[in-house]
Structure 1
C-alpha cells in the first residue's frame, strides 16, 4: 500500500475548485461567499479508509498501454479481472462486504433505519427510560401492511420514516420513471394510516389496543415533521384523540410495560399541548400520575408541569371574566402566591435530583475552532451569531443522557410559564401603574435570565456536542443509546426535544437580541438539517411574553372597572329603546358596539404582530393558541 498524501478534510466543492476550505460546519464560508451549495464533508471513516481500487486500475492500465508489452497488459487485465470478481463475490474485506451492498438498499428500508436510528431511544441497563422504544415490539406483532384495516401502525410508521428521510437528506426523487417521490410516498402512507386508524377507532375493542394508540402518536409526530398549512391544528387533533383513547383504556393499560410507555408518551404530549394552549389537563393532575411512574424524578417533574398547566388555565379563565372588585383582587393575589410557591417547588426538585442527573459545564469565550475569525473577515453580526454552534461568550452544559437533558428543559420551561403567570397577576393588581415597577417583575426577570441561559447552554449537547467531546479527547460521557446507528451523531430526536424549549426562550421579553438571533439559527438548523419542519413555523413567530399576554388581559377586561355597580347598569341599559327616532341604538348600546369594534381591531393587530405578519395559517394558529385569544 502506497502513501498517497494527507487526506483533505475540506468540502467537496472547495476540493473541486482547488481552493483552501475553512472547514466551517455545517457550511463552509467559501461556498457561502460564492453563493454555491456546499455539498458537505466526508465522514471520518471515508478519510481514513480510502478506496484505491479504481485509481490502481487506471494506473495499471496506463502503464500497460505505454509500455506496449503484452505481458504487462496480460498482468493488468488479470489484476482488473480479479478485482472485478472480488467485488461480485463474498470478499474477505469487511468494507467491501458492507459498503457496496448498502448502496442497493430499498428506499423504504433506508427510511426505516434512518427513523429508528434518529428517534427510537433505547434505555440502557439500569439507567433512565427510553423514548418511543415501544415501537419495536409493536411493529414486530403488527399485521402485515397488505391488510388495510389493521395495519394502522405500520402505515403511520412508514409515513414518519419517509417524511423524515426526505427532510433530512433532501431526497425528493424515487428511482426514476413513474416511481413516486419520497414526500408523495410519505403522504400516501399517511392517508392509508388515517383510513386504517379511523376504521379501527370505530371498533370498540380494536380502538383500545396498543397499536391504535401508538399509531395516533405517530400521526401527531408526522405533523411535526412535515408542518404543512394546517400542521398545528392537525397535531392538536391527534393529541386530543390520543387523550380520549387513553381515557377509554382505563388503568389496566398500566399493567404492561408497553402500555405504561404509551401512557407516559401521551402524558408528555399533554403537557406541551396544555402549556402552549392555556387549557387545563383533562381528568386532572392526579389521574395522569397515579400508578404511572417509570422514573420517580421525571414523574415528579411532570407532576409540577401538569400543575403549572392547571394554574395557567385557571388564571386565563379568571382574566376573561374578572372585574376589579375586592373579591377578585384577593383571588388574583392568591393565584400569584400559588405560582410563586409552585416555582419554589420546581427549584427544590432541581436541587434534589441524584448526582448522575447533574451536568458538566465547559466555558468557551468563542466557539471551538472559530476564535472570532468570521467577524474579522467581515461576516455580518446576524450571520455570525445564527451559524455558530455555541452562543458567543457562553457556556456548554454536558449531560449524561439525552432524555435527562430533555427533562431538565421541561422543568425550565415550566419556570418560564410560572414567572409569566406571576407578572400577569402583578400587572392586573397594580393597574394602571406600570407592572415593570413591581417587585414581582424584578424577581421574575432575574430568574428568567438565568433559566434562559441554562436552556441555551444545553443546546450544543443536543446538537452534536458528544462528537466534539470525542474529538477533544473527552470520550467519557455516557451518551444515549439508539436502536441502531451511531450514538455520537446529531439525532432528529434531539431537535424534536428542543423545539418547545427554544420556542419558549425566543418568546421571552427577557431574551436579548443576540440570544434571540442565536436561537433562531438553531431552530433553522433543526428544521433544515434534522427534518423537524415545525421549527420553521416557530421561526416566524414574533410573540413576546408576558407583555403580550398582559396586553391581551387588558383587551378582554370589562370596560368601566371603576364603578362596582356599572356592569349591572350597562346590562339593564342594553334593552332600553333608542332615545330618538332614526337611531337603531341608544347611547350605551352605541358605546358598547364601538368598544367591541375597537376590541376586535386591537385583537387582530396583536395577533398580526405575534405572527410576524405571516400569511401562513399555521403560524397564525400557533400565535392565537399561545395568546389564548
Structure 2
C-alpha cells in the first residue's frame, strides 16, 4: 500500500472543488454562499485504504530508464585464433596425424622458439587458406621467414632439442604444401623433407626411441614417401634404414597400412625409372604387373576388421553411385584402401598405354591384356565411388558417427545449403576422398555417367562442406583436362590438408 497522507476533514463539496472549508458547526461558509446543503465533515481519524499497486508500478516504469550496458568481451589475437584452428584440424580433433605436438600444446614442456615460430607460421597459413585472406597469408610468410632464421640458429643447439627440431622442420614443410599449390612446384616437393632427413642423419636414428620421437619419425616417413611419389624420386636408402627402425620399435610388420606404404615406396621408384627412361618398355610393364599383383595380394589379405561392409540400396540416392555403398571402420581404413586403389588404377593405365605402344611398334594384338587392365580399372573405380557416401552424405553416416560429430565442441560454420555444423574431422573425411575420386573419374574406364556423378559430388562437397578445391576438380573434370594426376595432387595441397 502507498501512504497518501492524512485524510482531510472538509465537507464533500469543498473537497471536490478544492475550496477552503472553515468547519462551522451548522454549515461551512462556502456552502452558505452557494446556498447548498452542507453534508458535514469527515472524521479526521478515519483510515482510508486504497490499492495503489498498479498506479505505483506505472509511475515507476515511467521514471525508469534502461541502463546502457557496454559489451564485455575479451579480444582474441589472430595468432591465438590461428593456433586453435591448427590444433583442431591436425592435433586434437581432425586428422591427429600431428598428435606428437600435444605435449607442447598442453604445456607439459616448454615450447622452443624454433618450434613456436613454425607453429605460428603454419597456423596462419591454414587460417589464410580457410578465409582466402591475402593479408593473413602475408603475415604467415613473415612468420615463416622468422621461423627459418630461428631454425638456422637452433641447429647449433645440443641433441636434447632433437624432437622439437625435427617437428619444426616438418611444420615448415607443411607450410610449403599449404601455401604453394601450383602444379609447377611439384618437382621441388622433396626439398624440405630432404632437409629433415639430413637433420635426422646428423642426430642419428638410434636416438629416436620414445613414443613421441617415433610418432615424429612416422610423420616424416609418410611425408617423405608421398613427396617421392608425387615428384617421381627414388626413396633414399637412409629412409629404408629409418623404416626398419620404426618397424622394430612399433611392431608394424603385419599392419596393413605399413605394407601399403612399403609398396608405395616401390611405386615411387617405378615412377622415377619410367620418367628417366631407365627401363625398357618390357621391363616397365613387368614391374608394373608385379607391383599390381603385390597390391592385389595385400587387398586379399586384409584383416576382417579392415574389410568394407557392402550395402545395396533398394532405391537410388543422388550421393550413391549405382546404389552400392561401402562402410568402413574409420577414415584411416578408407584412406588406406583408396591409396591402394588409386595406385593400381595408375599402374593399369600405364599398362594400357604400353599395350597401345606395342601394337603401334610391333603390330601385335594385345587386346586381351588391354581388356583385363580396363576391367581392373573399372572395378577399382566402382570401389572408390562406393567409399564416398559414408563421409560425403550425412544421411548415410552411421548413427554413432553422427552423435560424435554433433557432440564435438570445435566445429565449422555451416556452408551454403547446409543446415548442419561440420567438425574438422568430418571435413577431413571428405577431403581425403577428393584425389581418389578424381583419379577414378578421369581414368580410361570412366563412363560419361560416372564423370557426371563425380562432378556433381565435387560441387556438392564444395557447397555443403565449404571445400573450395572440390569445385576446382569439378571444373577440371568438366573440361577433360589432361594434367598429370600428381600435379593435381599438388594443387590440392597434398598432405597439407589430407594429413
TM class, shorter-length: 0.5 to 0.7
From 255, 263, 286, the counterpart of 1:304: 263
Q: Residues 235 and 312 (structure 1 numbering): CA distance in 2 closer, same or farther, change over 3 Å? A: closer
Instruction: State the partner residue of 1:604.
Output: none
From 486, 491, 501, the counterpart of 2:436: 501
Instruction: State the partner residue of 2:447.
Output: 512
Provide the TM-score with structure 2 as the length reference: 0.67
Partner SS, residue 508 of structure 1: coil
Instruction: State the partner residue of 1:346.
Output: 295
Within a 5 Å distance, the mapping from 1:579-618 to structure 2 comes to: 610=483
Asked whether the 8 Å contact 1:279–1:310 carries over to 2, the reply is yes
From 205, 228, 234, the counterpart of 1:251: 205
Partner SS, residue 233 of structure 2: coil
Query: 1:133, CA displacement in angstroms?
Result: 0.7
Aligned length: 421
Query: 1:300, CA displacement in angstroms?
Result: 1.1
Pair 1:195 & 2:149 matched: yes
Query: 1:251, CA displacement in angstroms?
Result: 2.6
Pair 1:406 & 2:335 matched: yes
Partner SS, residue 292 of structure 1: helix
Pair 1:131 & 2:4 matched: no
Asked whether the 8 Å contact 1:365–1:394 carries over to 2, the reply is yes
Instruction: State the partner residue of 1:226.
Output: 179
Q: Residues 211 and 367 (structure 1 numbering): CA distance in 2 closer, same or farther, change over 3 Å? A: farther
Pair 1:161 & 2:123 matched: yes
Query: 1:340, CA displacement in angstroms?
Result: 2.3
Pair 1:111 & 2:90 matched: no
Asked whether the 8 Å contact 1:419–1:448 carries over to 2, the reply is yes
Instruction: State the partner residue of 2:326.
Output: 397
The CA RMSD measured in Å over matched residues stands at 4.7
Pair 1:271 & 2:225 matched: yes
From 461, 464, 474, the counterpart of 2:390: 461
Partner SS, residue 99 of structure 2: coil
Query: 1:290, CA displacement in angstroms?
Result: 0.8
Instruction: State the partner residue of 2:370.
Output: 441
Query: 1:447, CA displacement in angstroms?
Result: 1.0
Q: Distance in 1 between matches of 2:215 and 2:489?
A: 33
TM-superposition CA deviations, 1:345-379 (whole Å, max 9, x none)? 222222222232223344558775x7xxxxxxxxx
Query: 1:302, CA displacement in angstroms?
Result: 0.9
Asked whether the 8 Å contact 2:189–2:231 carries over to 1, the reply is no
Instruction: State the partner residue of 1:47.
Output: none
Instruction: State the partner residue of 1:475.
Output: 400
Instruction: State the partner residue of 2:13.
Output: none
Within a 5 Å distance, the mapping from 1:268-417 to structure 2 comes to: 268-283=222-237, 286-293=240-247, 294=250, 295=252, 296-317=255-276, 320=277, 332-363=281-312, 390-417=319-346
Asked whether the 8 Å contact 2:233–2:268 carries over to 1, the reply is yes
TM-superposition CA deviations, 1:248-296 (whole Å, max 9, x none)? 4443254122222122222222332232332221217843531313442
Structure 2's unaligned 5+ residue stretches are 1-53, 412-420, 493-499
Query: 1:334, CA displacement in angstroms?
Result: 4.8
Q: Distance in 2 between matches of 1:131 and 1:544?
A: 34
Q: Distance in 2 between matches of 1:340 and 1:611?
A: 21
Q: Which has the larger radius of gyration?
A: 2
From 349, 366, 391, the counterpart of 1:420: 349
Partner SS, residue 98 of structure 2: coil
Query: 1:112, CA displacement in angstroms?
Result: 2.1
Query: 1:409, CA displacement in angstroms?
Result: 1.5
TM-superposition CA deviations, 1:124-176 (whole Å, max 9, x none)? xxxxx9511112224546756xxxxx5232222223323323433x3749xxx
Query: 1:451, CA displacement in angstroms?
Result: 1.4
TM-superposition CA deviations, 1:45-73 (whole Å, max 9, x none)? xxxxxxxxxxxxxxxxxxxxxxx966157
Query: 1:445, CA displacement in angstroms?
Result: 1.1
Asked whether the 8 Å contact 1:134–1:258 carries over to 2, the reply is yes
Within a 5 Å distance, the mapping from 1:2-41 to structure 2 comes to: none
Pair 1:489 & 2:401 matched: no
Partner SS, residue 325 of structure 2: strand
Provide the TM-score with structure 1 as the length reference: 0.55
Query: 1:342, CA displacement in angstroms?
Result: 2.6
Q: Residues 444 and 297 (structure 1 numbering): CA distance in 2 closer, same or farther, change over 3 Å? A: same
Partner SS, residue 131 of structure 1: coil
Within a 5 Å distance, the mapping from 1:66-77 to structure 2 comes to: 71-72=57-58, 74=60
Q: Residues 482 and 305 (structure 1 numbering): CA distance in 2 closer, same or farther, change over 3 Å? A: farther
Q: Residues 415 and 207 (structure 1 numbering): CA distance in 2 closer, same or farther, change over 3 Å? A: farther
Within a 5 Å distance, the mapping from 1:65-104 to structure 2 comes to: 71-72=57-58, 74=60, 104=75
Query: 1:313, CA displacement in angstroms?
Result: 2.6
Partner SS, residue 399 of structure 2: coil
Query: 1:118, CA displacement in angstroms?
Result: 2.1
Query: 1:411, CA displacement in angstroms?
Result: 1.4
Instruction: State the partner residue of 1:61.
Output: none
